[in-house]
Amino acid sequence: MRSERREAIIQILRAAVHFVDIVTLHLGRPIPAGFAWVTKAKMRQLTSLSEKRFDRALRDLRESRIVRIYERNKPVPFVEGEFRAEPAIKIFSKHLFGAFGLSQWLQKEQEKAAQRRQAQKAQQQEGQKQKPSGAARARTGLVLDGLVAKIGRISSRKSVTKKISIEQRSEILRERGLAIFEMKLANPDADAATISREVDRTFKTRGIDIDEIQRLTFKD
């Protein structure tokens, strides 16, 4: 093999290092929907190779089984019989690392990277649970708006908590329970304590202290 050809192969390997996912040895990056495979054009930007030299060197890597490449085509929506080229699947061979005596190093790094990814995924899932979606926030807003209207009707006669009748207190506590239930349906990932605080805060903005209502109810 000529030195120019070897140089082209080295340039591609050097560029591929920027895109390799150490856990899977796939060339690209993990995304929520799956995996985004790096394109040849993106890799070639990190080399000084012409398109012809790049393709020839990549073909050499493929034939030597250092990199496995699987071409992909995707049907064009609403156009029967037509397909669109997708970025090819590119996978490094672990034997390349073994050839340089790096098999054990690769295994350790893959284990550490997999643990980091699992921790990051768990953190993201926890953050999604704590942060409601836009639709959930909208549904929660509707529940609270309805609750405000109900509170207005209940307390329109006497808004001072201590002077609210037993019947009104019972109605307030019943509406509170319904509001908590509806908010849980609107936002299933939220914890009960957070929902209860939000409902009680809504009552308090209308001059009704739920803690005091409960105290008076149990006292009676």
Same domain? 87 vs 142:
no
Domain boundary among 75, 92, 109: 92
Q: Please state the rounded mean pLDDT for residues 171-196.
A: 81
* Residue 164 within any structural domain of the chain: yes
Same domain? 88 vs 11:
yes
Q: What is the pTM of this model?
A: 0.53
Instruction: Decide if pLDDT at 163 tops 90.
Output: no
Q: In terms of C-beta distances under 8 Å and separation of at least 24 residues, what long-range contacts does 115-124 make, across chains too?
A: 117/23, 117/30
* Residue 190 within any structural domain of the chain: yes
* Residue 78 within any structural domain of the chain: yes
Full domain range(s) for residue 147: 134-219
What residues does 69 pair with on adjacent strands?
90
Confidence of residue 155 (pLDDT cuts 50, 70, 90): low
* Residue 125 within any structural domain of the chain: no
Domain boundary among 61, 92, 123: 92
Cα–Cα distance for residue pair 207/55, rounded to 1 Å: 74
How many domains would you assign to the chain?
2
Between 5-9, 46-50, 81-85, 146-150, the lowest mean confidence (pLDDT) is in: 146-150
* Residue 112 within any structural domain of the chain: no
Exposed, middle or buried, 68 (CB in 10 Å: 0-12/13-18/19+)? middle
Q: In terms of C-beta distances under 8 Å and separation of at least 24 residues, what long-range contacts does 51-58 make, across chains too?
A: 53/4, 53/8, 54/8, 54/12, 56/5, 56/8, 57/5, 57/8, 57/9, 57/11, 57/12, 58/12
Amino acid at 4: E
* Residue 42 within any structural domain of the chain: yes
Same domain? 7 vs 83:
yes
* Residue 160 within any structural domain of the chain: yes
Domain boundary among 92, 123, 148: 92
Same domain? 23 vs 76:
yes
Query: Which of residues 138 and 3 earns the better pLDDT score?
Result: 3
* Residue 120 within any structural domain of the chain: no
CB 167 within 8 A of CB 156: no
At 104 the pLDDT is 92
At 173 the pLDDT is 84
Q: Which of 140, 133, 119 is nearest to 195 (CA)?
A: 140
H/E element, 92:
strand 83-92
Number of neighbouring beta carbons within 10 Å of residue 86: 12
Number of neighbouring beta carbons within 10 Å of residue 57: 22
